[in-house]
Structure 1
Amino acid sequence: MHAMQYELTLPADYDMDIVRSRVARVGHLLDDWEGLGLKAYLLRDRGVHGSPVNQYAPFYLWNTVEGMNSFLWGGPFQGLADDFGRPAVHQWTGLSYDEGGAAGSPAAVAVRRRLPVPAAAELGEVMADAVRETGRLAAEDGVVAAAAAVDTRRWEVVHFSLWEHDTPKAEGDVFQVLHVSAPGRGALPRGRQW
């Protein structure tokens, strides 16, 4: 599994309904994308859930590198880059994925928490802690799915969770979920991924 996210931070007075309309118009294009586990179309409105910014920041869990690359090099990503400029794309290697008790429900919000891996930390312990946190999140009431991944260039762990209600029991940046494309969600490997 590979995790990926890019962020488009928009002006404070930007009409976020433009982004909502865009997702309503094109969100279905990835509903059957080969190699995609799931894509959560995420939005933050300045002042909502404590967000300091207006931001469009979709989050992906990929089953295959080929699917991710075909999206980036010849797929809908080019249209986004043409319309908004080319954002930096964060990529993380998968550590764990679990379905929550609300797995069959639509997601209302997502929570993303990025944490640095301390320089003196025992790597195996940090990654095992991330796996345990995924399981803990998945066991919370209202969780649709939870995942953890690591960027070994920047030594950063990301925790990601989808919630069926808008009062998540997780720390981090809270995003509204506009749409979820999940053609390969059932194929995402469960639990620890090493």
Structure 2
Amino acid sequence: MIAMQYNFTLPADYDMDIVRQRIASKGHMLDNFPGLAFKAYLHASKSSELTASSQNVYAPFYLWNDNDGMNNFLCGDGFKAVSHAFGWPAVKQWSVWHSHVDAQVRGAKFATRQVSTIAPYTALGALREHEIETAKKFSQQDGVLAMLVAFDANEWTMVRFTLWRDVAAAKTAMQFAGSLADVQAYEVGHVSAPGH
């Protein structure tokens, strides 16, 4: 599996209702996209107390079952349309160590993402084992609708991504992340997933 995200940083005075309306009108178009485990349509606003973001961003996050699905999307009309609307983004990718996706994932209203650096010469096997075990336990907490941990061996980063039923449930993220200082929070406008 592959985790993928791109981020559009928008002007400080950008009307984020444009992003919300775009998600509302186009979000359903990927609901049954082949190879897609889920796509979370994420946004964060400077004016929102929920996300406490330093910038206005539109930052969709994907979990792909395989390369073919991801490549078909990136080479298709969907990515072409979003890049023409918001600009040509860098597309980050992580190899997934563990993922959990609840049957109710489409009900997610909030998301958290933590990206951390993997230090040189880290014992990767031990790190992977620890992260998988921690993620399995964390996935069982009330309100977690999807959770994954993945790594990028090019930039040596690790991502922990969680979709939450609501903001109240997301407060438990502190138990997993240790600190919210390096956690980006997002509102979820829509979740595309197979069979829905």
2:169 is the counterpart of 1:140:
no
Amino acid paired to 1:97: S
Corresponding residue number in structure 2 for 1:83: 85
TM-superposed CA distance for 1:99, in Å, is 3.9
Give the gaps of 5 or more residues in structure 2.
174-179
Q: What is the rounded CA distance, in whole Å, between the counterparts of 1:126 and 1:103 in structure 2?
A: 29
Contact 2:31 2:195 in 1 (8 A): no
Shift in Å at residue 85 of structure 1? 1.2
1:120 is displaced (CA, Å) by 3.2
TM value normalised by structure 1: 0.89
The whole-number CA distance in structure 1 between the counterparts of 2:106 and 2:73 is 26
1:1-150 → structure 2 map (5 Å cutoff):
1-48=1-48, 49-99=51-101, 103=104, 106-150=107-151
Q: Whole-Å Cα distance in 2 between the matches of residues 84 and 99 of structure 1?
A: 29
Tell me, in whole angstroms, the C-alpha distance in 2 between the residues paired with 1:39 and 1:96: 17
Partners of 2:116 and 2:10 lie apart in 1 by 24
The one-letter amino acid paired with 2:136 is G
Q: Which residue of the partner structure matches residue 151 of structure 1?
A: 152
- Counterpart amino acid of residue 178 in structure 1: G
Please give the alpha-carbon distance, in whole angstroms, between the structure 2 residues aligned to 1:99 and 1:30.
17
- Aligned pair count? 184
- Report the CA distance shift for 1:126/1:47 in structure 2 as closer, same or farther (over 3 A): farther
Local SS of the residue matching 1:76:
helix
Q: How far has the Cα of 1:181 moved from its partner?
A: 0.3
Task: Find runs of 4+ consecutive structure 1 residues off by over 2 angstroms.
Answer: 102-105
- Are 1:47 and 1:53, in contact at CA under 8 Å, matched by a contact in 2? no
CA contact (8 A) 1:98 1:146 kept: yes
The alignment yields a C-alpha RMSD, in angstroms, of: 1.7
